[in-house]
Amino acid sequence: MVSNQVLAACGSDGITSETMRNVQASGECWAGGASWQGSAVIRISVCSWATTEADITRSVRAFVTARDKAMDSLSKG
């Protein structure tokens, strides 16, 4: 199955929302926020025929960096 819409969450609503803000601020890729079954999620859409494997790798790295930054920021309160 191929899907161009994916929802992701990062363990808590706070970490998920902060991760999304960090990804958006990075400028590497864009993702939007949404709610699914009462929880915060990140809505990811890949819909360009021009998207390459390298684009996906960079985007995944941006998400990991954004999540790590969110976890660090929220742990410091």
User: Are the C-beta atoms of residues 22 and 63 closer than 8 Å to each other?
Assistant: no
Q: Which of 2 and 39 is assigned the larger pLDDT?
A: 39
Instruction: Kindly report, residue by residue over 20-52, the tens digit of the pLDDT.
Output: 999 999 999 989 999 999 999 999 988 888 989
Domains observed in the chain? 5-75 (3.90.1150.10)
Distance CA 64, CA 29 (A): 12
**Residue 1 has what pLDDT?**
65
* pTM for this entry: 0.87
Tell the burial category of 2 from Cβ atoms under 10 Å away from its Cβ (0-12, 13-18, 19+).
Answer: exposed
